[in-house]
Amino acid sequence: MDAIIVPAVLGLTEWAPTLSVASVQRLRAACLAHLHGRIAEPLEPPADFARVNTVSCRCVHCAELGRFLVDPGRKEWALKAAQHARNHVESAIRQHGCDLDCATRRVGSPHSLICTKNQASYERRVRQRKDDLRNAERLDVLSEHG
């Protein structure tokens, strides 16, 4: 909806010849329902350090990462492991969109992957909410003129 339908309907409804076409109006109504539904969802920053664990790998290091992600009291985790293990965990973090910032601490051997929880998902939802409000307003205004 967000990548294709909403932008297409905005374009169709802003072009006068298609504004009153029944199929365009039905698409506009579907887009508004989609946008208003998401706008109605609660939007709050995380209350603690617990984050969603979407990591599907169950190796020992990723399992430890998963326990860290859901822990509401821990902001930082250090994985002291060989480079291939650190690379694997960092890849899993990127692949699954975990709300973590990663850095390698190159002190001692093996080095450590330092993972710090962030609010990236919440910040994405804030940006999405702004886009949704703007797009819903544009579609609502267009319906008043149509």
The tens digit of pLDDT for each residue in 28-70 reads 999 999 999 999 999 999 999 999 999 999 999 999 999 999 9
What does the DSSP assignment read for 12-71? HHHSHHHHT-HHHHHHHHHHHHHHHHHHTS-----SSS---------SHHHHHHHHHHH-
Work out the end-to-end distance of the chain between its first and last CA atoms, rounded to an integer number of angstroms. 22
Q: Which residue has the tokens 């190159």?
A: 106
Q: Model confidence at 10, in pLDDT bands (50, 70, 90)?
A: very high
Q: Model confidence at 83, in pLDDT bands (50, 70, 90)?
A: very high
